[in-house]
Structure 1
Amino acid sequence: MQSILRPALVLFGALTLAVGVLYPLAVTGIGRVAFPDQAAGSLVTHRDKVVGSALIGQSFTSPRYFWGRPSATAPMASNAAGSSGSNQGALNPALAETVKTRRDTLLAADPGNMAPVPVDLVTASASGLDPEISVAAASYQAGRVARERGLARARVDELISRHTVAQHLGFLGEARVNVLALNLALDNEPRPAR
């Protein structure tokens, strides 16, 4: 029995040390050297203060800001500690009601906007933490944001264009806009004279 147990325990200890301690330390060290910003959480600073992460969506509700993709995380929206989707299927009546409520909220915030509502403004993602929206979703909101801030629509469109990230490798996914970066750029805009 001892001839079987001792090698098994030694192997268990060696593998625990190698895979549970040495490998994570090596990967963390390489990550911090090769990708220091990403390894630190891709933190975004504004006016010498950390205001979020470029990888985690935030909940913006003021009409002066662009709104991100809805979040189904619990117990509150955009809860990074509780990444999850709603797990509601396309035929679920609760999902249809949630989408209708979100659409009504968008229409109430910008009643003159007759453009079709982009799907990513009324549906949550699988993680519930998307930091980005489609260019169509940003363009849909541009009129409201320009009006609320007293900016020219062309200036807001220019900010959207400047903060648009192209497809990966030129063909994977779609172009997108980081909501936090765009809203911070709006906050840096000079206030129009009244």
Structure 2
Amino acid sequence: MPLPFLTADGVSDAGDDGYEALAHVDHDRWRRPYRPGPWRVAGAALLLLLSAFMLLATMIVAFAGAAAGAAVCLVAALAVVGSAVQLLRAGVWVSRTGLRRVGFFRTRSLAWSEIAELRTVQQPVRWLGLPRTVQGQALTVAGRGGAELPALLTDHNADFLSRAEAFDRAADEVGAWADEYRAVPVG
């Protein structure tokens, strides 16, 4: 929903899809070409709620006089906060230099010159990252040497579960970045 009172002259900068154009477009910075999905945000919110209770327990243990126990509770709470942040960061990021797939434990970056093809295919995909697989769509990338890499996006992950239109927009956006920068040498 456009909010005309947020613009200087009353004209909205929103495009056809309702997303506002960013005033600081910098193609050298890594950016996620889609918004985090409700399942990902809900999971991070639950982790932050848990960390709030853990920090309250830290304070109670500290006031009870057990400094070592308070330190353990504090470290555990900070680990849960870090997990929530990493859960929100996970996904596909793009920039002028290439494509980056950020996972919970591992990040992999590919230069656009290393990518031969991006395509959307029907295949078994993992449901919310769990071992259970269902039939769905996946955005896959093939490397220059013919190496098939893991799926970048699926329509059943935490960002796109029950949001097929958002998956299509995100796949198109990643494809547009690839089309624009695969032929352009970065340097």
TM-score by length of 1: 0.26
TM-score by length of 2: 0.26
Q: Which of the pair is proportionally richer in strand?
A: 2
Q: Which of the pair is proportionally richer in helix?
A: 1
